[in-house]
Amino acid sequence: IVWGDIALIDGNINAQGSDIAKTGGFVETSGHYLSIDSNAIVKTKEWLLDPDNVTIEAPSLSRADTDISSEFPIGDGTENSPKKNADKTILTNETISNFLQNAKVMNITAKRKLTVNSSISIGSRSHLILHSEGQGDGGVQIDGDITSEGGNLTINSGGWVDVHKNITLGTGFLNITAGGSVAFEKGGNNARNATDAQITAQGTITVNKDDKQFRFNNVSINGMGEGLKFIANQNNFTHKFDGEINISGIVTINQTTKKDAKYWHASKDSYWNVSSLTLNDDAKFTFIKFVDSGSNSQDLRSARRRFAGVHFN
């Protein structure tokens, strides 16, 4: 663990286990002021960066270098309670991509919001983990392409996840767990072609809280290997699908309420405002919306009481 009021990292850090393969070990870098130069090389199984808000940007001419500079808040400085930053930390996408050539697992965490504004390349055998606690209505926002040929991407968010760009991992795994809604859309006016928005991977996208939503807008989803699964076994969960939706490979969307849900927990509809749904050759697409409940009510006067159905417009 490297921590200090001012922590400047511009060199080599090597953390190895005691086994023959020299695997294992982790490095954590934190501080009230943290600067990591793009020349830094870390050889370890896992590198943890732990500020409050994180933005990943392309190198800028207005910056003298590609360092990461920000303030970090208090914490125990241990593996279970790392130091965190009260202000935004800016990392360069080139630095992240370079790190992933040496550190097989990079774990970037934020207390509130984590934003990827520029493209990231994940090594074919590397694993990038993006984590937001989701405090202050925060979450994870992907505004830059994330690409790999077999590398893995995990997104854990206590809040929402918005994917506005491409995530193409080949047969690598994309696993997302969110406490808020998950969206694959452009953002803003959503004006784009589905062919310009590619989600290619295998894995599971899970929402683990009630009253949330999956949103797809003008997107192409390619479930490689065992496929992509969008799972929400929650109550009052909705879907909002708009524009062009292209499906390749194996894609499953399953929203089944919790067992014996009361009728007021199963009263939100889903909406398919889809201009075209295209299943490419050999695609297998499964959509499930199921209410597991014996509860019923005759009172549908409230605007909040719906039939938990699907509107195909």
Q: Which of 147, 52, 162, 170 is nearest to 100 (CA)?
A: 147
Which residue has tokens 């050999």? Answer: 282
d(CA 62, CA 69): 14
Residue 47 confidence (pLDDT): 55
CB hemisphere CA count around 218 (13 angstroms): 16
Q: Quote the DSSP letter at residue 57.
A: E
Question: Cα angle at 284 between 283 and 288, to 5 degrees?
Answer: 145
For the chain, the farthest-separated pair of C-alpha atoms sits apart, in whole angstroms, at 69
CB hemisphere CA count around 137 (13 angstroms): 0
d(CA 101, CA 124): 9
Strands 88-92 vs 53-57: parallel, antiparallel or unpaired: parallel
Residue 60 confidence (pLDDT): 58
Residue 160 confidence (pLDDT): 95
Per-domain residue ranges of the chain: 181-313
Residue 236 confidence (pLDDT): 77
The series of mean pLDDT values per 10 residues for the chain, 313 residues long, is 51 53 52 44 54 64 41 33 42 71 74 87 87 90 92 94 95 95 80 87 92 90 96 83 94 84 72 92 91 64 65 84
| Helix (H) and strand (E) counts in the chain | 1, 23
Residue 46 confidence (pLDDT): 54
Helix (H, G, I), strand (E, B) or coil at 10: coil
**Cα torsion 196, 238, 154, 99: sign:** positive
Q: Please list, residue by residue across 258-285, b when 16 or more beta carbons sit within 10 angstroms of its beta carbon and e when fewer do.
A: eeebebebbbbebbbebeeeeeeeebeb
A 10 A CB-CB count for 200 gives 22
